[in-house]
């Protein structure tokens, strides 16, 4: 028996190391083509895109959502490894979200009384939630597939980070077809949609990433 065990042990080969960027983030980047295609061919891009890209609110809306995803991405990479810790990525994304909420409140206070409802609700508040959620699904699924190959040991935190990256990325893509200009709208419905995706990731993480 001892000889058999030694023979089997001699044939063991170390598992090839996996790089989190290629295993987790690269599939998410490829999956982003799906929500991009949905926005372009199903929801439709902004009809005033040529003039919109010259205005600051277009880039603020796109940039803040993309930055939330970018700040959470390092945390996702760290958490994808066994024993990995989130570092400062989740904290930075949280601080940015808090700053956005504060800016949205200030904007609402400075808006005239008669325009505050429009600043808060716009004309697409309800569709913003479900569309960002829908667009985030391919990104989140890709992240789960990658994370399962990396075997994280903090599945809830990893799910939260994956949700932030997926939600922020999806919201940035959605902004290409959204004509809302209010900073308060961005701080409420866009951010709420991202937080719902992140919360869903945290809830599902222990189940989906169990190994």
Q: Which of 145, 141, 130 is nearest to 22 (CA)?
A: 145
- Alpha helices by DSSP H, listed for the chain, are 2-10, 20, 26-31, 33-38, 49-52, 56-79, 89-110, 116-121, 125-150, 155-174, 183-185, 191-208
Kindly report the pTM of this predicted structure. Answer: 0.89
Q: How far apart are CA 172 and CA 192, in angstroms?
A: 14
Q: How far apart are CA 203 and CA 16, in angstroms?
A: 31
Local confidence pLDDT in tens for the 211 residues of the chain? 555 455 444 544 444 456 888 899 999 999 999 999 999 999 999 999 999 999 999 999 999 999 999 999 999 999 999 888 888 999 999 999 999 999 999 999 999 988 999 999 999 998 999 999 999 999 999 999 999 999 899 999 999 999 999 999 999 999 999 999 999 999 999 999 999 999 999 999 999 998 7
Locate 21 and state its tokens. Answer: 């960027």
Locate 57 and state its tokens. Answer: 């609110």
Burial 77-107 (b: 16+ CB within 10 A, else e): bbbbbeebebeebbebbeebbeebeebbeeb
DSSP state of 113: G
Q: How far apart are CA 206 and CA 108, in angstroms?
A: 38
């Amino acid at each position: 028996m001892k000889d058999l065990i030694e023979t089997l042990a001699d044939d063991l080969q170390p598992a090839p190391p996996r790089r989190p960027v290629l295993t987790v983030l690269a599939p998410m980047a490829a999956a982003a083509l799906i929500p991009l295609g949905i926005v372009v061919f199903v929801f439709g891009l902004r009809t005033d895109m040529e003039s919109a890209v010259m205005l600051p609110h277009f880039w603020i809306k796109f940039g803040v959502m993309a930055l939330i995803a970018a700040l959470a991405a390092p945390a996702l990479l760290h958490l994808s490894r066994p024993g990995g810790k989130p570092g400062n990525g989740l904290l930075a994304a949280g601080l940015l979200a808090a700053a956005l909420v504060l800016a949205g409140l200030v904007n609402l206070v400075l808006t005239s009384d008669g325009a505050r409802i429009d600043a808060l609700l716009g004309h697409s508040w309800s569709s913003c939630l479900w569309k960002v959620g829908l667009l985030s699904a391919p990104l989140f699924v890709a992240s789960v597939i990658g994370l399962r190959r990396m075997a994280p040991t903090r599945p809830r935190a990893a799910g939260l980070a994956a949700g932030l990256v997926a939600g922020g990325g999806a919201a940035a893509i959605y902004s290409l077809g959204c004509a809302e200009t209010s900073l308060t709208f961005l701080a409420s419905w866009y951010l709420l949609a991202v937080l719902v995706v992140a919360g869903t990731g945290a809830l599902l993480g222990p189940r989906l990433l169990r190994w």
